[in-house]
């Protein structure tokens, strides 16, 4: 394996890669938080004969912003982020949802995001109250999951 390739272990949700191989829109761990890279600033460091990559990312679960610099040849932790759609069964009064997973099992361990910060949650609840056929989109990475959106299926 060359230095330009990334190293990934089977079944892993992270991989090691060189800092200069990641760009805006990629996912990486920044300050031990799973982040979407929203900016990358590259600065030459002549006395080290290297480039300094300064990554700014938004935590994919909390939206907090984190920033961390790495030399271009440094190994960083990239993320495997998955998005899956599941059929919504019910929304409880405390905003926990019941849905079926890919094996057909019922789950009720995820809560809708705060409606004040996510306008789409109000729309989802309105469609649910009208009896719509809804599929929620769940983002997962590094053992965490959150609901990030929905689709209404019409026949």
Q: Which of 125, 30, 40 is nearest to 79 (CA)?
A: 30
Where would I find the H helices in the chain? 119-129
Instruction: Write out the H or E segment, with its range, that includes residue 15.
Output: strand 14-18
- CATH number assigned to the domain covering 7-79: 2.30.30.30
Residue-level pLDDT at 101: 87
Which position has the higher pLDDT, 63 or 5? 63
- The answer to whether the CB of 148 falls within 8 A of the CB of 138 is yes
Residue-level pLDDT at 5: 45
pLDDT in tens, 61-76: 999 999 999 988 899 9
Least confident of 1-5, 54-58, 130-134: 1-5
Band of pLDDT at residue 118, cut at 50, 70 and 90: confident
Residue-level pLDDT at 6: 44
pLDDT mean across residues, the chain: 88
- CATH number assigned to the domain covering 82-152: 2.40.50.140
Residue 1's alpha-carbon distances to 6, 75, 140, in angstroms, are 8, 15, 28
Instruction: State which of 37-51, 83-97, 106-120 shows the largest mean pLDDT.
Output: 83-97
Burial class (CB in 10 A: 0-12, 13-18, 19+), 57: buried
* Two tokens, residue 79: 């993320």
Q: So where are the chain's domains? A: 7-79, 82-152
pTM given for the model: 0.80
* Two tokens, residue 55: 């990554």
Residue-level pLDDT at 124: 94
């Amino acid at each position: 394996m060359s230095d330009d390739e990334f190293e990934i272990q089977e079944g892993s949700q992270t991989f090691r890669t060189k800092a200069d191989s990641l760009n805006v829109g990629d996912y990486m761990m920044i300050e031990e938080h799973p982040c979407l890279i929203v900016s990358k600033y590259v600065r030459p460091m002549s006395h080290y004969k290297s480039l300094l990559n300064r990554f700014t990312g938004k935590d994919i679960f909390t939206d907090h912003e984190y920033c961390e610099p790495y030399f271009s040849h440094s190994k960083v932790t990239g993320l495997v982020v998955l998005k899956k759609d599941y059929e919504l069964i019910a929304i409880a009064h405390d905003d926990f949802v019941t849905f079926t997973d890919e094996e057909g099992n019922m789950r009720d361990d995820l809560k809708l995001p705060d409606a004040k910060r996510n306008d789409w949650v109000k729309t989802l609840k309105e469609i649910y109250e009208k009896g719509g056929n809804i599929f929620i989109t769940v983002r997962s990475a590094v053992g965490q999951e959150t609901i990030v959106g929905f689709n209404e299926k019409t026949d």
